[in-house]
Every structure is written in C-alpha cells, then in structure tokens.
Amino acid sequence: MSAFNFEIKIPTRLFFGVGSLERLGKFAGDLGKKAMIVTGRHSSKRTGLLYRVEEILKKAGVESVVFDKVTPNPTDELVDEGSKMAKEEDVDFIIGLGGGSSIDCAKAIAMTTSSGGKFWDYVSVGGGKKPKSALPIVAITTTHGTGTEIDPFAVITNLKTKEKVGIGYDVIFPKFSIVDPELMLTLPKDQTLYTSMDAFYHAIETFISVHASVFTDMLALDAMRRVVTYLPLAYENGDDLNARTNLAWANTEAGITLTLAGASANHAIEHGITGFHPDIAHGLGLCMTGPNFLEHIKDHIVEKLAIVGKEVFGVYEREKEKASELAIMKLREFQGIFKLNRKLRECGVKDEELEDIAKVSYRAMYRVVENTPGNLKESDLLEILKKSF
C-alpha cells in the first residue's frame, strides 16, 4: 500500500497542555449526572489527584463513585467486577484516571457495562462478539506511555489462559481526553523510563508497519526524536516540566500513529511475555526484545531503519544497509544508558516457556503480527524470543 493512501479518524476530543485538567469541569456536566472514576489503589490518592478530580466534578454538578482496584496488567475478572458496580450505581459515564492500566480498564468497563455480558465475550480469542456500544469514556492520563488516551484499544489479561489481549473497537475511543503534563511530575523514575520507551516502541513499530503513511511517519519520527532527547532529562530531574511536556506530546503522537497504522510484532511478543509474567513492566519487555526484533526483519525495513538512524540518532552514513545497522546499534546504546538491554532470563522467564509464549503471542495478537513487514510466522516470534533469552 502506498504511504499516500490513508484515512485519518480520531474521534476523541483532546485537551493537551499544562493546566488542562481544569477543562474537565467544562464538559463533565454534558456527559451525565453521575460518573465512575476508575483508578489504581494508591497513587491518585497519594498525589491528591483523585480528590482534585472529585472536586472538579462536584463543582460541575456531577456526582461520582470510585472504583479503585486497578492493578498493573488488569484482568477480565476485574473488568467484570467494575462493570457490575457501574450497573449497580447506574453511572452515566466512566473516567479512567491514571496510567494505561486504569484507562484501559475504564474503557473495558464502559464497553461491558453498556453492551452487556462479560468482558471476555468481546475478545476474538474469547467469544468474538462485537460490542454495540460503550458508556462515554473520559481519559485522564498521568503517564507518558501507552497512548491509550487517543486510541480505540484496551489491553486486558486473562489469568486462566495467560492471554494478554488488546481489543480494538471504535466504541471505546475516549470521548474526551486530558493530557496535562503537570500530572506526570510525580511519575517515579522506573515508570518514567518504561512509559517513555513504550511510546518510543509505539512510534518505531508503527513507523515500520505495513499500514504506515506519510502522516503517521511524520508523527512517529517526531515522537522518537522527542523521547531520545527528553527522556534523559526527565529521568535526571522528574520535575522538569518542559521535558515532561515533550514526552507527553511524544506519547500522544505515538498514540495517534498506533491508532492509524498499528503496532507490529514486537508488541505481540511483549504481550506474550507479560501474559506469562505480569510483573514485568510493559516498557521493559519491549526493550528486551525490540532490537532483536528489528534485526530479525532488517532486510524488509532497510529504508525505514536508515531514516530512523539519520533522523532520530543522527547517524551520518550514506549506505542504507550500514545506516540501518547503525540505527539498531544506536538504539541498543540508548537503552544501555538506562540498563534496559536485559535478558529475559534475568527477569524470571524460563527456557521451557518460550514456545508457549510464542504460541500465545501469535494467536492472541495475530493482527499486530500481520502489520509487520516480512510475513512473520510463530517460528519467527520464537526465534526472536530465543535470541532475547
């Protein structure tokens, strides 16, 4: 497909910028009289953010209830529990407050509450039903990773089958999103790192996706450049609002490219890994396999990698083959600064699990694998996993 053949559809109304949290009060009343705030157990309380959001809603005449049970890698059971509460409380809309887990959980709850049944009915490897509707969703992100505030995806894990699946339906595009970099100043160092690298991999994976266009390429390159420039600054000084703002924008750009062009197989592999090991951070998982993944498909993406080398890492090399190799080398170097070039076995992954991880990755995330140049099979995923072990 030509890079000049594309469609742009992002129905979310986005408020970006320092202080944009206050905009919530302007539109919340239009969404109904009662909201359910979906958030994690601790951080939004510790930072006072949950209280701030409740106050803004109150001033706007909106009542709110809180579902504060979200953990990293939220499960389908948690979604069903949240959906039960949303029905019992008869809420009009759902607010996802926090990182990707809270927002994804909010999206899944909004969909399951409105469409009925259980969450897993709407997963292709589960029941495969198409949801009819979702309650209106408001996303308030406190991290600069995932891109979920601007995409139609939600990632939910089934602990029984160890499948970590990303669903994608237009009904779960947030109606409103707030990206306020001020809310990200309290993000701890490890989360600063992992969420930024998640955004980086969204960008590079969509940049090489078979559905990439001139529009997504422009955003993806800019997102990669901003992560490489501003992550070291935000990592060094978490209060650097300019660095946080640039990372927040990189994440939003990468979220748009994710929506329009789709991630590629590195995300499929990572979902396989954290389906088996939910304690491994998503961004770390991506870094452990990312460079090996790019190397595996290098022959199919020479041109694109050469551009990444030149535009993102400042590689001066005319010969494209060489420039593409240097791009991967530079990425490894960049990850090395933050000790992200870890091996899977150092993070608890077992040799005997690799085949099953490849199998689940391929089955649960085949759509993402299909976005990848090189027509990858399950055996390719296994090879990348073995190299990263």
Applying CB under 5 A, which residues contact Fe ion? 198
Tally of CB atoms within 10 A around 162: 18
Rounded CA separation 127/76 (Å): 13
Q: How far is CA 301 from the centre of its chain?
A: 23
Tokens of 115: 């469409």
Closest approach of Fe ion to the CB of residue 65, in Å: 29
Q: Give CA–CA dist 236/294, Å, rounded.
A: 28
User: Alpha-carbon distance 63 to 54, whole Å?
Assistant: 8
Q: Residues 143, 255: contact at Cβ < 8 Å?
A: no
In this complex, which beta carbon is closest to Fe ion, that of residue 93 or of residue 207?
A: 207
Which of helix, strand or coil describes residue 261?
helix
Shortest gap between Cβ of 252 and Fe ion (angstroms)? 14
Place of tokens 């029905």: 87
Nearer residue to Fe ion within complex by CB, 151 or 217: 151
DSSP structural state of residue 75? B
Cβ proximity to Fe ion: between 80 and 270 the closer is 270
Least CB distance to Fe ion at residue 328 (A): 20
Tell me the C-alpha to C-alpha distance, in Å, between residue 371 and each of 20, 128, 293, 366. Answer: 34, 20, 14, 9
CB of 268 to Fe ion, least distance (A): 11
Residue with tokens 């309650």: 135
Please state the closest distance from residue 201 (CB atom) to Fe ion, in A: 6
Q: How far is the CB of 100 from Fe ion (least distance, A)?
A: 7
Q: How far is the CB of 274 from Fe ion (least distance, A)?
A: 10
DSSP letter at 35 equals: E
Which helix (H) or strand (E) segment is 276 a member of? helix 265-276
Question: Collapsing DSSP states into helix, strand and coil, what is residue 376?
Answer: coil
Nearest approach in angstroms of CB 366 to Fe ion is 17
Q: What are phi and psi of 371, to 5 degrees?
A: -75, -10
Report the run of H or E that residue 113 belongs to, with start and end.
helix 100-115
Q: Please say which residue, 163 or 198, places its beta carbon nearer to Fe ion.
A: 198
* Shorter beta-carbon distance to Fe ion: residue 99 or 181: 99
How near is the Cβ of 26 to Fe ion at its closest, in Å? 30
305, 294 contact by CB (below 8 A): yes
Of the pair 76, 198, the CB lying nearest Fe ion is at 198
Using CB atoms, what's the residue nearest to Fe ion?
198
CB 230 within 8 A of CB 195: no
Nearer to Fe ion, 198 or 380 (CB): 198
Q: Which of residues 277 and 310 has its CB atom nearest to Fe ion in the complex?
A: 277
> Whole-angstrom Cα distance, residue 350 to residue 37?
38
| Choice between 227 and 326, CB closer to Fe ion | 227
Beta carbons within 8 Å of 109's beta carbon, 6+ residues apart: 36, 38, 67, 79, 82, 83, 86, 94
Cα separation, 169 vs 367, whole angstroms: 13
**Please, which residue, 198 or 353, has the CB nearer to Fe ion?**
198
> How far apart are CB 365 and Fe ion at their closest, in Å?
11
> For 366, which DSSP code?
H
